[in-house]
Chain A
Amino acid sequence: MAKAIKNVHKIAVTEEQKRKDDLREVEDALIKNKDAILQTMDIMSHMQDKGILSLLNGLFGQGDKVLEIAVKAMDKPENTNTLKNLLLLSGSLGMINVQQLEPFLLKLNSGIARMAEFKDTEEKTGYFDIVRSLKDPDINKSITILLQFLKGMGQDTQHYEKTNQDTQKQRINQSENKTLE
């Protein structure tokens, strides 16, 4: 005779047993990840030394508030502009061809070195000195490079610009010029 029943006596897990099980679980995890944990400890210790932990503690402890303040601060025009400039500059940096720039930078370096050497000179340069200087192969080379640079700077680069709104025509061309890729 088995009447319908609804009562269920749950297996009562004693505080002590629960603690034992939990500890066991933690212990297993520790052993399984021994190396990672030891290394993490090292990192944490460094972070403690530098005061980073207490900083993070404050940050996370007040997560929503801090985020809100940060977001509100960022949402001011000058700050969004900073971010925007950063993004634009990093984009522009990417366009510089370092391979081409390198020899130029080296030359610039030696120019600066020489400049430093003569920084306190009393020597004066007259018009004829300049004309005569053109015969010096080093100076002549520099001038030629500078002239080429000026020519390049004068070329139209508008279609590479990211900061302007596009015209209809340009927008269609974007895909052809692959400026987004």
Chain B
Amino acid sequence: MSESFYVKINGSETKAEKDQTILNLLSNTSSQVPHVCYHPSLGPIETCDTCIVKVNGEFVRACSTKLEDGDDVDTNSDEVKEAQVIGMDRILINHELYCTVCDYNNGTCEVHNTVKEMKINHQSIPFDHKPYEVDSSNPFYRYDPDQCILCGRCVEACQDVQVTETLSIDWDRERPRVIWDKDVPINESSCVSCGHCSTVCPCNAMMEKGMEGEAGYMTGINRETLRPMIEITKGVETGYGSILAISDMESAMREQRIKKTKTVCTFCGVGCSFDVWTKGREILKVEPQIDAPANGISTCIKGKFGWDFVNSEERLTKPLIREGDAFREASWDEALNLIAKKFTEIKTQHGSQALTFISSSKCTNEESYLMQKLARGVIGTNNIDNCSRYCQTPATMGLFRTVGHGGDSGSIKDIEKSELVIVIGSNTSESHPVLATRIKRSHKLHNQKLIVADLRKHEMADRADLFIQPRAGSDLVWLSAVTKYILDKGWADNEFLSTHVNGLEEFTKNLEKFTLEYAEKATGLPQETLVHIAETISQSKSVCVLWAMGVTQHMGGSDTSTAISNLLLVTGNYGRPGVGSYPLRGHNNVQGASDFGSMPDRLPSYEKVSDEKVRAKYEQAWGVKIPEEPGLNNHEMVQGIMDGNVKAMYLKGEDMGIVDSNINHVHAAYEKLDFFVVQDLFLTRTAEFADVVLPASPSLEKEGTFTNTERRIQRLYQVLEPLGDSRPDWQIIQDIANRLGAGWNYKHPSDIMEEAAQLAPLFAGVSYERLEGYKSLQWPVAPDGTDTPVLFTDGFPFDDRKAKLHPVDWTEPKEFGEEYDIHVNNGRLLEHFHEGNMTYKSEGITSKTPNTFLEISHDLAKERGIKDGTLVRLSSPYGSVKVHCLITDRVKGKEVYLPMNDSGEASINLLTSSYSDKDTDTPAYKETSAKLEILQVEGVNPLPKINFRYGNPQPQIGVAVDKKWARKDYIFPGDVVKKERKQHG
């Protein structure tokens, strides 16, 4: 309980909490004060001066003043009102009220609402144009300095929430304005187009381009006509009262045609949720909400602006059937009948095990559940897997071994408040942009310590207190050495170990070989650095470790994940807020796809197929027999096709022919299939091999739930009708099952969730009612609906409630021989999703990043005579790629980086091998070497100059309001009032 005391508000006693601001207290009472710049997610910015009140006789800003015991607050005397009106007047000098013809007139304009609330009818100093043009250079949003009230919310969001540090207000000019970097056009700045600024802008100054000329009934009018109209509105005005009344009417009319629907983003595992504003099929904007549990007001470029693919002309709108050397559009009936016939034939001829099913980590939980039910319950095989096999299965394995739950230990909020964050093999600010902002903010403002281990010097590495570059694939060694050093020094959390952890003795014995000397040799990290890391960890009261593909996509991926968890156990960093392990899930539903049973060896809730009792439960519910042998995983399926045992595959929502490793090999396998069904939005590279292609509907066209990296289950609502004859995946799966005689009758995804919740213990209390709107649940969810934001607070899910230290050894990364002297690192870019099937459909994204490129170091460029734009060929034993080079200091030596956003000649997986994690078969994408040949020295730089990577950020804390206050023409409104009163006695 925080301390509380009494204060006087306009003479009446009111209870207040310690550290509570006046604004915060007043917002719960009847005596509210006006405010414009304050935003609940940004805190006090102190620029607008409209919230002025008097405390103990002194004028102060209510937003930033904390209450003290016995304070006497005056919010409604004439003096106070006068000061507030002065504040508002100064805003209106900067902002023209033409609300009825303004695209921002949607009921949420804070300038409009505050003018109304303060009942201001006229202003003392008229609006005055600023001498600046509108900046429309960025493809996604524009800035109109003339409407900008200089509140600084956008700057606060850019500097301290998103922490890209591009925006600032130049207070030194006669007429201040927002500037980008050192005052360059938006499109040439370091702006990453995350959309924070347009989301928090209280008026129409910073606005999404999708809204322009679209939102209002009269806003689409030609510019030449609009200007006189604004003049008329102003000429006719009899006071703001009537303008506001008419614009309120117009705003209410907009509700009729603009639909606002909550959805959950599909571009990574962070699980951002937001409202999508649509007019017909047109997407006007994405509007994040304060209530959104994972992201609040935050988004990245893809979530805010990357939805053009939904209305792409290239979307599949009818089923396709292979006929000779072409596909032919067909009716659903024909396609479904063909699938049923072929599945039945193959099952009769070759048995159930000849059929394989691959579910998607982009589809919903309900669809994952149905896909595995189709495989197990209708066909009778456990050959069901999903594409988290390509990324995070090793992390899940590492956690199962040690702590028992395969998911993040806590929430993003726990990472935010942790004292020390260690990021290993994760380009967090590009792959999990919104989650990264929380670390960047804590690090910038709240003294959070940050250690980054990576090959590349990406943004997180740049910001880190300590950045280490261990040799590729050697993370297990330094982690183990640090763990050993901590144990040796007696810095381990012995109490935690003795009460909550088993296996210390065997574990310590196995660690013996990981001495500092050995680790230095294996990883290339100096011993002092290792000691420093050990000290930092043991001195920190709370530690979170985040990792991603740089750890998992190795032959020892599961073991390294295990080593991370071991380190956390030894230091007692489990089972309380602000600590734990965070395997960052790559896709929106990587977590959920596995949670809901699309795994060859596990049913929903990770219950083992081999467990007789578990099988019996499902057999009884479904009325079928489930095979007890675990099925094939993705990797084994491809091998199975090659060996001739697998004859058919049904794959949905995954361009496996691009994203699996060694794709030449995978393509050869596809060609051998007797029958191949692919379900997707587009005719993907994978679909090109199919016999039947089924047109699916993306997330915006269906309902369901996703589970993000925090184990958080969130609902998505239908924004648009399915395009053409496309259908939601759950309906298609049900149609196929029913043609095979299943007799399913799910009317809505909630029916599927209801069934899953009855069978899967982790989701016992999950229901659509409990997930309504922005409500969410983090599993395990008890039958009464209690969820679990922080895991392991009452022990670990093993028989004796104790975790296990699991000894692991180092698997040295694969060497491909001396001639393959270039190490090819690979991964994502911020602005593209994966191979780019969806994000290249956005003109804006494509204009800024039209293709992939090969990042090479200055050293390598010098050695081989490579320039920006040089075309090179990389060849590995498995294939080759052709790609243009970009010289950068993000990589060093002979390490190069090939982002995965290409599905043609530069596809990284033409190079990768079929080697995989020894425990989970996750491909060892990160163990790729190649030789490099120059094809053409001169070429065009593959990264346009309008890409943010060339930008020049200008870090500062917030909006630097002191510079405003220091201006000669600034007088605090409270002082103005005091002076006047004195003069007039």
Contact = CB atoms under 8 A, between A and B. Distances in A.
B281 interface: no
Given A64-B222, A75-B232, A7 B238 contact: no
Interface string B310-347: 00000000101011011111100000000000000000
B336 to A, nearest CB: 16
B325 A10 contact: no
Contacts of B221: 67
B249 to A, nearest CB: 15
B513 interface: no
Contacts of A4: 667, 670, 685, 688-689
Interface stretch (B14-22, B120-128, B954-962): B120-128
Given A171-B122, A180-B241, A9 B228 contact: no
A8 B320 contact: yes
| Most A Cβ at <10 Å: residue of B81, B119, B322, B329 | B119
Given A8-B683, A80-B232, A68 B119 contact: no
Contacts of A74: 228, 232
Given A84-B238, A165-B122, A166-B122, A2 B326 contact: no
Contacts of B685: 4
A171 B88 CA distance: 12
Interface in B887-936: none
A71 interface: yes
B121 A166 contact: yes
B212 to A, nearest CB: 18
A83 interface: yes
Interface string A74-92: 1101001001100110010
A162 interface: yes
Contacts of A11: 318, 328-330
B78 interface: yes
B326 A8 contact: yes
A2 B676 contact: yes
A168 interface: yes
Contacts of B231: 75
Nearest to A64: B222
B502 to A, nearest CB: 52
Given A4-B685, A80-B235, A168 B82 contact: yes
A168 B935 CA distance: 75
Given A2-B691, A8-B326, A166-B121, A172 B235 contact: no
A5 B329 contact: no
Nearest to B331: A11
A68 B221 CA distance: 9
Contacts of A83: 232, 235-236
B85 A168 contact: yes
Interface residues of B, number: 48
Contacts of B78: 172
A135 interface: no
B238 A163 contact: yes
A177 B688 CA distance: 74
Contacts of B327: 5, 7-9
B229 A171 contact: no
Contact of B225 (A64, A87, A174): A64
Contact of B236 (A3, A87, A163, A181): A87
Interface in B230-258: 231-232, 235-239, 241-242
A10 to B, nearest CB: 5
Given A68-B222, A168-B85, A75 B121 contact: no
A72 B667 CA distance: 66
A7 B327 CA distance: 6
A74 B231 CA distance: 10
Given A75-B228, A80-B236, A1 B671 contact: yes
Nearest to A80: B235
Contacts of B818: none
Given A8-B329, A9-B328, A87 B242 contact: yes
B642 to A, nearest CB: 14
Contacts of A175: 81, 118-119
B819 interface: no
A68 B330 CA distance: 50
B124 A168 contact: yes
Contacts of A5: 322, 325-327, 688
Interface string B945-985: 00000000000000000000000000000000000100000
A160 to B, nearest CB: 12
A106 B318 CA distance: 76
Given A5-B325, A7-B325, A172-B78, A88 B225 contact: no
B216 to A, nearest CB: 15
Contact of A68 (B118, B124, B224, B235): B224
A172 B228 contact: no
A4 to B, nearest CB: 4
Nearest to A164: B122
Given A2-B676, A64-B222, A174 B119 contact: yes
Contacts of B238: 84, 87-88, 91, 162-163
Contacts of B670: 2, 4
Nearest to A86: B236
B342 to A, nearest CB: 13
A6 interface: yes
A180 B120 CA distance: 9
Contacts of B121: 162, 166, 171, 174, 179-180
Nearest to A74: B232
B683 A6 contact: yes
Interface in B432-484: none
Interface in B191-228: 221-222, 224-225, 228
A4 B683 CA distance: 11
Nearest to A173: B78
A68 B225 CA distance: 5
Contacts of A84: 235-238
A77 B81 CA distance: 35
B673 interface: yes
A175 B117 CA distance: 9
Contacts of A80: 232, 235-236
Contacts of B122: 165-166, 171
A9 B329 contact: yes
A75 B326 contact: no
Nearest to A166: B122
Contacts of B318: 10-11
A148 B144 CA distance: 57
Nearest to B234: A80
A84 B122 CA distance: 15
Contacts of B683: 6, 8
A87 to B, nearest CB: 5
Given A2-B676, A171-B85, A75 B235 contact: yes
Nearest to A7: B326
Contacts of B980: 168
Interface string A42-81: 0000000000000000000000100110011011010010
A87 B744 CA distance: 65
Interface in B687-740: 688-691
A180 B320 CA distance: 64
B652 to A, nearest CB: 18
Rank and list the top 8 A-B pairs by shortest CB-CB distance, nearest first.
A7-B326, A80-B235, A4-B688, A11-B329, A175-B119, A75-B228, A172-B81, A83-B236
12 contacts: A5-B326, A7-B326, A8-B320, A64-B222, A68-B224, A71-B232, A74-B228, A83-B236, A171-B122, A172-B85, A175-B81, A180-B239
Given A5-B327, A175-B119, 4 more contacts: A2-B670, A9-B327, A10-B329, A163-B238
Interface of B: 78, 81-82, 85, 118-122, 124, 221-222, 224-225, 228-229, 231-232, 235-239, 241-242, 318, 320, 322-323, 325-330, 667, 670-673, 676, 683, 685, 688-691, 980
Interface of A: 1-11, 64, 67-68, 71-72, 74-75, 77, 80, 83-84, 87-88, 91, 162-163, 165-166, 168, 171-172, 174-175, 179-181
